[in-house]
Every structure is written in C-alpha cells, then in structure tokens.
Amino acid sequence: MLRMGRPRIKNKDLFPGVVLRRGRYFMRPTNAETRKIMARLGYSTSMPLGASKEEARKKWVETFVLDKTQDGTVAQLIADYEEKKLIKLAASTQAGRKLDLKRLAEKFGARLYAKSEAQAALHPQRFLQPWELNRYLRENEDARPVAANHEIRAISAVFAWARTEGYTLFNPAKGVEWNIEEPRDKSEAPSLYPIVYAAAPRDLQLMMDLAYMCGMRVQDVLGLREAQIKDEGILVKPLKRKRGEVVKCRLFEWTSELRALIDEARVLRSEARGGLAYFGKPEERPIFVDRTGKARTETGYKSMWQRAVKRAGLNPKDLHFHDIRSIVAGDADNPTDHLGHIDPRTTRRIYQQKICVMQPLVTTPAANVEASIDEALRAWRKITAPELRRLVWSKPTSEIAQELGVSDVAIAKRCKAFGIAKPPLGFWARVAAGKIPHPNGVPPAEEGAA
C-alpha cells in the first residue's frame, strides 16, 4: 500500500505523490516501493504523467497499481541489467545507455521476453519479436536514425548479458536491419575552430590547444594528471579503448608552445578558489580544474563548450570538441600515430575529411581540340591559290579536308573560285597502284610544259 505524505491543501482528488506543476502532472516518490518502480523506468526524482488529470490517473494506475515490471517482462530485465551490469561500466557509458534503455522501457517494457527462440516462434504474439525492433528502427529512420540504432544496440547488450546470466537464450535484437548512419561532415571544422576559439574562456582555449597539439580526446584532456607530466614530455594514455585492445601510449616531447600551455594551465589552477589547497596525492592532481578547484567533469565541460559555441553565433551541432581530432588528421604528418589509432583505416574512414586544395589543369581536352580547330580554320581562311593548287595535287581531297577542318565540298568550291583544276576521279588510286607517277604538288600539264 502506498504511504501518504502530508495532507493536501488543494488538489485533494489526486493520487499520492502526484503534483501539478505548470499545467502538467508529475509523480514524486513517496516511499521505497514507488522509488524502486520509478528507478526501473529510468526516473529518479519525478516522473511525467501527462497534461490532463484523466491521463495522469490512468498512467499512475498502470505504473504503480498494475506494475508492469514483473518477472519475465523486458522492463524487469532492463532493471536487473542496470542493477547488476551497467553500474560496472564507465560513467559516460552509464549515462548514455540509461537514457536509451529508458526510451525502450517506455516502448517495450510491458512485453514479455522469450526464454528461447523456439518459444518465441511458438507464441509470436506473446513475446517480444525481432520485427517489433525492426519496426521501431523504421519509424525513427528519418527523424533520428542514429539515436534509434543506439537504443536497439542498448537492448541488444541487455539480452547479450541476459544470455550469460541464464535469463534467456534468445536475443530479439540479433539480425535487425540497422538504419544507415551517415558520418558527420567535418570538412568545415578548420574554418569554425578559430571562431569558437575566440569566443571561449581562457581555460577552454588551453584545452582546445592541447587537444590539437596532442590529438587528445576530451576524456584524455579532462583526465590529464600531474603524473603524466614527465621530464621528456606529456604521456598520453587513452582512457577510451575496446575490451582486450592494446593500449597505445604516446609521449609528446616538449616544445616551447606545449611547455607554455601547461605552465599557464597550472597558473589558472592556482587562481581558482581552493586551487592551492590540494589534499590528495600530488601525482593525481588534475591539470584542468573548475572554479572551485576540483577536476573538471564531463558535464561541466559540455556546458562550457555549448556556451562558447552559442556565443560564437553557431549551432551546437556545427562544431563538436571531438571535431578537433579531424583537424589533426588533416594537418599531422602521421595522423594514425598522432591520434593514437591502432588501425589506420579508422583514421581514413572517420577523421580525414579535410578539403583537399588542388590546382586545376590549364586546359581541357575539348579546349585543346577547339584550339587546333581554330588554328586550322584560320589557315583555311588565309590559304592562297598557289598553296591550294599544291595541296590538291599533293594528296587526296579527303585528307586535306580533315587537316583543315572543312568539308570536301568547301575545298571544291574554293578550287572553282580560284580556277584550279582538281585531279580527275580515280587519279589517286592509280597513283597508289603505281600506274602513274606522283605529281608532288604540280599538275601534269604544268610539269610537261616545264
């Protein structure tokens, strides 16, 4: 039975825990039982119930009286996964996957999951089926294709974990047809970088400079500690890696610019409130801190980055901090090693999107042809009677027409206008057969007179 809180002064007809805020109804946990049910659905302090009182009543009854998170439901499986497996993953992975699973719990939470593929085939209407997940992908194909893929991958991870724990042998997400994911266009990143840089606060500018100089991810920048500052340079050990993948550490040797950057970051750290007072191990002291002197969190960095992008007059989707790595991929001599990739194909496929500046060829083949045609036409227009007589008695008219870019008829008309007698029909065939000598540009009558 749900426990009542303080007696209501108004809205006495609402269910326990239901409050009205700005025209919408929300549920707040009243005891451990309601808190546990809300946690299964991905809510902590409040849960939306709708805009109308009837809608709020219906959802309240469905959620807290007819609890759908019973044994054998997808919601219960998600709740067990979050309680036993998800908490062991990285904080950023937990945040993203919880959001994905929250959406799927709202969509498929009440569905039962089959214990085996045979059971799913025998009762297709009773248990969650692959076609339902496929339909979910198609429904979100246009509006949010990448997000839908992430959500189905999250539910696939839940069922993969469930197989290892003995919950089920069937994964309905296996073999689904994924939405096509087009990579973001990062070709404009080099031109947008200085705009955001000019609008960013100084500590964010230092983080951007360090990410560019050393090809570091934002997690590596935020996680930079004094222990990584060596006499030889900065040791970068990537925090992001696949399970079982070899860690590729990089040592960036000191330059005057890199040394000045770290020194300025330390000065800013000492100027922060509480920046001089550090009670932990010296080697674990962060390089970049917030205003309170504590290590910058990923949430705080995101807020700072979005403010800088908006201050620069850009859309938050125009440039991400991660896009700095694509700039590095275009500028570095060895981008694969500079970015810490194991496989160079990753660098080429995702990061190398720099616009290649090329010089055009001087002329096109068509222009060359047009130039030769123009030159031949100019020669045809300037041809004299002696030159034409020599040509028509040196080679067949078809060859002359091809060289000058005119027709046989045009040559015949010009010969008639100049009063030049052309060789008779079959003349060049007899020359080729050796029956008569080649005239060599001189008509036979003129040759005999000479």
Is the confidence at residue 449, as pLDDT, over 50?
A: no
Long-range contact set of residues 187-191: C-beta below 8 Å, sequence gap at least 24? 187/353, 187/354, 187/355, 188/318, 188/319, 189/319, 189/323, 189/324, 189/326, 189/327, 189/353, 190/327, 190/330, 190/354
Return the higher-pLDDT residue of 1 and 10.
Answer: 10
**Each residue of 132-161: pLDDT tens digit?**
999 999 999 988 899 999 999 999 999 999
Bridge partners, residue 350, by sequence:
none
R_g of the chain, CA atoms, integer Å: 39
Residue 450: pLDDT above 50?
no
In 3D, which of 326, 274, 295 has the Cα closest to residue 203? 295
Mean pLDDT, all residues of the chain:
82
Q: What are phi and psi of 211, to 5 degrees?
A: -60, -35
Whether residue 363 has pLDDT greater than 90:
no
Cβ pair 213, 325 in contact under 8 A: no
Long-range (24+ apart) CB contacts under 8 A made by 83-88 are 84/165, 85/161
Pick the more confident residue, 49 or 9: 49
pLDDT in tens, 5-33: 566 667 677 788 888 888 899 988 888 87
Give dist(CA 80, CA 162) in Å, integer. 9
pLDDT at 385: 86
Q: Is the dihedral of CA 444, 448, 449, 450 positive or negative?
A: positive
Q: Which two tokens stand for residue 396?
A: 């067949």
DSSP 337-391: HHHT-SSHHHIIIII--PPPP-PPPSS-HHHHHHHHHHHHHHHHHT--HHHHHHH
Name, in order, each residue with C-beta under 8 angstroms of 180's C-beta and a sequence gap of 6 or more.
145
This prediction has a pTM of: 0.55
Tens-place pLDDT, residues 220-276: 898 898 999 999 999 988 766 666 566 678 888 999 999 999 999 988 888 887 655
* Better pLDDT: 32 or 164: 164
Task: Map out the domains of the chain with their CATH numbers.
Answer: 18-165 (no CATH), 189-351 (1.10.443.10), 365-449 (no CATH)
Task: Summarize the confidence of residues 174-192 as an average pLDDT.
Answer: 83
Residue 273, C-beta contacts closer than 8 angstroms, at least 6 positions apart: 291, 292, 293
pLDDT at 2: 45
What is the predicted pLDDT for the residue at 207? 92
pLDDT above 90 (res 90):
no
Residue 1 has pLDDT above 60, yes or no: no
Question: Does pLDDT of 318 surpass 90?
Answer: no
